[in-house]
Structure 1
Amino acid sequence: MATITKRRWKTSKGVEREAWVLAYTDASGKRHKEQFEKKRDAEARRTEVTHQVVTGTYRADAASTTVEDAVKDYLKHLAGRRDRGEHAGEHYLRTVEGQLYNYVAPQEGRAVEFEGGIGAVKLSQCTAKVVSDFRDRLRDAGVGVVTTRRILGSLSRALQHAVSNDLLAINPASNIRVTGKRGEGAKKVVPPSKADLAAALGQAKGSIAIRMRLSASAGVRASELYALRWRHVAFNAGELTVDGRVDAYKNEDTTKSTAGIRQVPLSSAMLAELRKWKDSAKSSEADDLVFPNSKGGFLDHKNILKREFRPLLAAATAKAKEDGGKFKAFNWHALRHFAISTWIEAGMQPKTVQTFAGHSSLAVTMSRYGHMFPSDTHRNVMDQISSSIFGSGAQMAHDATEVP
């Protein structure tokens, strides 16, 4: 049973003070007392505690542990996984740390200043309403749909970690949805044109030219490109195996998902260029990197962009202006988009495109590149799906639309 009593006392300076004390017993018989300045806060807490004790969701430490405490404990857990060589790599840890320390429990000296965090909220007071209000503050501050979802995802995992440590009974962030305006956060891909890619390649020499052509034909991500070793290039089979990546801190790891492990066919021209590149390499054993830095280690993507790629784009822009034409610059990842767009243009089926791209699901492929597939491909796909529902009826309906 929970009771509320008023407590009055005088300070050392003779000032009279008062507070409201909530006293209750948890399911194990242990007595607890909490003090509040306002009676309504004490009553609200009594209602909450009574419900938690009755339903078996009460956690004593939740009253003294804050969301910030849970965040710090979760980040410590991720750091431990990183140190043990598990999936949580340095890049992932830094990304999650940024999301939690910039927005959920804002820390001084961070790159982002956000005043709507919930770090000071006690876990016992962290309800779905609190998390929903936090989401709304993020959106009101101009944080996009995708970023808001990622922030809430990191918060949810931090709170789930608190659940696993018996600090919470349920995760209040587990079912919080983020919606936006129509089209907001859409990932519709627009690859560079063939003319713009040709113009950029016209300014590329040596290693960067090969890297660009490989990215624009095999669709490898930059992180995957830098992890390639000569054993991944099968000259006889004519294909490239992708099974790893290098993060921003030069830590080697597995691909983003299991689907990321794949074999991508290479053209004869690409194979010939790679063969020539291998013959001129200082080290070309099976475990040697295909594109090493001067010391034989991993390339730094930021340096590549700063010292090679962006100057190359600037040169292409200047050349186009000199010739009276136009050049539309693009980012490095657009080379992957270009590769996938050419696969679609060549008539590859959606599932094949998904496999070669290393997407985790067909839904990812279609959400980003679906607009590029011919409309008849879409219809064929839908007919194949409906055939499992309607049997021959789908084909009959299709045939009925044909003009004799």
Structure 2
Amino acid sequence: MATITKRRWTTGKGEKREAWVLAYTDAAGARRKQQFEKKRDADARRVEVEGQIVGGTYRHEAATKSVEDAVTDYLNDLVARRDRGEHVTEHYYKTTKAQLLNYVAPQPGRAISFDGGIGAVKLSQCTARTISDLRDRLRDAGVGVVTTRRILGSLSRALTYAVSKDMMAANPAATVRVTGKRGEGSKKVVPPTKNALAAVIKAADVNFALKIKFAAASGLRASEMHALTWNKIDFDAREVTVDSRVDVYGNMDTTKSEAGIRKIPLAATIATELKAWRIRSKFARDGDLVFPDTKGGYVQHGNMLKRNFRPLLESVAETQGRKFKPFGWHALRHFAISTWIEAGLQPKTIQTFAGHSSLAVTMSRYGHMFPSESHTAAMDKIAASVFGNGA
């Protein structure tokens, strides 16, 4: 059990001092001591420590380490894993760092100013209430549902790391959920119309038009498309193998998830145009990129949008007028998936081709696109089959 004793001493200047010393043995058998200026603080810590030891949640560092310490250690671990070539991209690291240092443990001099962080909170005092209060402050500050979820997700991973290092006993962020108003944070996927896509393809030069067609037919993410090499296209089987992506910093990595590794069939027309493109491309070896920059390297997606895609959309808008609705590059992926639905492919097949981590992801984003008869017609069919014989 813990004991509290008073300690008195005289300083070198002859001043008399006193303090209260808490002594206890932790669950591992180590003898610990902490000193307090006031007895009530020592008593409060004694009650806390005894409860944690009995409950098996005591961690020595939890009383001295803060959430900011846990965040710092986690970010350092991400750097080490990134440098070892593990599954941590530069983009993931920088995004996580921004979320944690802008909102969780705000640092001075950053672009975003948020004064509701919890960096100073000791890990022993970090509870689910601490996390939920942070969530509420983020929402009150105007941070959206999706962004709040991402911030708390990064915090949860940092605290999970702290648990793995015995800095705390449990992750209090694991049970905290972020909810919003009905419909808030969800966006209904609306692909471009066939007419709008046709107008853009018609206005593009032959090489860029093929790139747009391929994206709108294959459904590849931009990061996957920029990483695609010729040896991943089987012209005999007319299918493309997707197993890698490139981030915004030009670093090659595996796909977003294990489900992202997939094979996608190609239409004959797309395969024929790809063959012609390979013949006229300066980079046609098996290991070369299918859609490289002028030097054969990875295309910077932002530059491609700025220099090619957006000016193309503006040009089409000028000629088409109000009937043309501009769309983003990622909408080409939505277009591909919408055509698969229109063609009658089964949801599970669409999930596979899209590289979604689960069928729930596919249905939550595209479920409204699947055709279905009216509810009243469905009820008529049921009634006819059940009650039609006079039952």
Using structure 1 for the length normalisation, give the TM-score: 0.87
Deviating more after overlay: 57-66 vs 2-11: 2-11
Distance, in Å, in 1 between the alignment partners of 2:252 and 2:336 is 24
Which residue number in structure 2 is paired with residue 400 of structure 1? Answer: 386
> By how many angstroms is 1:199 displaced?
2.1
Residues 63 and 327 (structure 1), Cα distance of their counterparts in 2 relative to 1, 3 Å cut: same
> By how many angstroms is 1:160 displaced?
1.1
Would the aligned equivalents of 1:188 and 1:367 in 2 still touch at CA under 8 Å? Answer: no
Deviating more after overlay: 298-307 vs 5-14: 5-14
Task: Describe the superposition over 1:267-293 as per-residue Cα deviations: whole angstroms up to 9, x where unpaired.
Answer: 121111111101101121111110111
Pairing of 1:63-102 with structure 2 (within 5 A) = 63-102=63-102
Residues 355 and 235 (structure 1), Cα distance of their counterparts in 2 relative to 1, 3 Å cut: same
Which residue number in structure 1 is paired with residue 222 of structure 2? Answer: 222
Distance, in Å, in 1 between the alignment partners of 2:80 and 2:123 is 23
Task: Describe the superposition over 1:2-23 as per-residue Cα deviations: whole angstroms up to 9, x where unpaired.
Answer: 4667899999999999987655
Which residue number in structure 2 is paired with residue 305 of structure 1? Answer: 305
Which residue number in structure 1 is paired with residue 235 of structure 2? Answer: 235
Using structure 2 for the length normalisation, give the TM-score: 0.90
SS of corresponding position for 1:375? coil
Would the aligned equivalents of 1:187 and 1:367 in 2 still touch at CA under 8 Å? Answer: no
Task: Describe the superposition over 1:352-382 as per-residue Cα deviations: whole angstroms up to 9, x where unpaired.
Answer: 1111111111100000000000124999xx9
Which residue number in structure 2 is paired with residue 375 of structure 1? Answer: 372
Distance, in Å, in 1 between the alignment partners of 2:52 and 2:17 is 31
Residues 43 and 195 (structure 1), Cα distance of their counterparts in 2 relative to 1, 3 Å cut: farther
Task: Describe the superposition over 1:180-216 as per-residue Cα deviations: whole angstroms up to 9, x where unpaired.
Answer: 1111111421111122212222321143211111111
Which residue number in structure 1 is paired with residue 362 of structure 2? Answer: 365
SS of corresponding position for 1:202? helix
Distance, in Å, in 1 between the alignment partners of 2:74 and 2:305 is 33
Task: Describe the superposition over 1:91-141 as per-residue Cα deviations: whole angstroms up to 9, x where unpaired.
Answer: 111111111111111112222211111111111111121111111111111
Would the aligned equivalents of 1:207 and 1:291 in 2 still touch at CA under 8 Å? Answer: no
Amino acid at match of 1:256: K
Residues 311 and 154 (structure 1), Cα distance of their counterparts in 2 relative to 1, 3 Å cut: same
> By how many angstroms is 1:326 displaced?
2.7
Would the aligned equivalents of 2:3 and 2:24 in 1 still touch at CA under 8 Å? Answer: yes
> By how many angstroms is 1:240 displaced?
1.4
Pairing of 1:191-230 with structure 2 (within 5 A) = 191-230=191-230
Which residue number in structure 2 is paired with residue 33 of structure 1? Answer: 34
Which residue number in structure 2 is paired with residue 284 of structure 1? Answer: 284
Which residue number in structure 2 is paired with residue 389 of structure 1? Answer: none
Distance, in Å, in 2 between the alignment partners of 1:202 and 1:277 is 17
Distance, in Å, in 1 between the alignment partners of 2:338 and 2:100 is 36
> By how many angstroms is 1:47 displaced?
3.1
Pairing of 1:4-403 with structure 2 (within 5 A) = 24-27=24-27, 28-35=29-36, 39=40, 44-321=44-321, 325-376=322-373, 399-400=385-386
Residues 8 and 351 (structure 1), Cα distance of their counterparts in 2 relative to 1, 3 Å cut: same
Amino acid at match of 2:32: R
Distance, in Å, in 1 between the alignment partners of 2:194 and 2:358 is 28
> By how many angstroms is 1:67 displaced?
1.0
> By how many angstroms is 1:147 displaced?
1.5
Distance, in Å, in 2 between the alignment partners of 1:236 and 1:402 is 53
Would the aligned equivalents of 1:104 and 1:155 in 2 still touch at CA under 8 Å? Answer: yes
Distance, in Å, in 1 between the alignment partners of 2:338 and 2:111 is 36
> By how many angstroms is 1:146 displaced?
1.6
Task: Describe the superposition over 1:324-343 as per-residue Cα deviations: whole angstroms up to 9, x where unpaired.
Answer: x4321111100100111111
Task: Describe the superposition over 1:205-239 as per-residue Cα deviations: whole angstroms up to 9, x where unpaired.
Answer: 14321111111111010000001111111111111
Amino acid at match of 2:123: L
Would the aligned equivalents of 1:18 and 1:37 in 2 still touch at CA under 8 Å? Answer: no
SS of corresponding position for 1:264? strand
Distance, in Å, in 2 between the alignment partners of 1:137 and 1:401 is 57
> By how many angstroms is 1:142 displaced?
1.4
Amino acid at match of 1:367: S
Residues 57 and 317 (structure 1), Cα distance of their counterparts in 2 relative to 1, 3 Å cut: same
The number of residue pairs the alignment matches comes to 386
Amino acid at match of 1:330: F
Residues 70 and 46 (structure 1), Cα distance of their counterparts in 2 relative to 1, 3 Å cut: same
Amino acid at match of 2:326: A
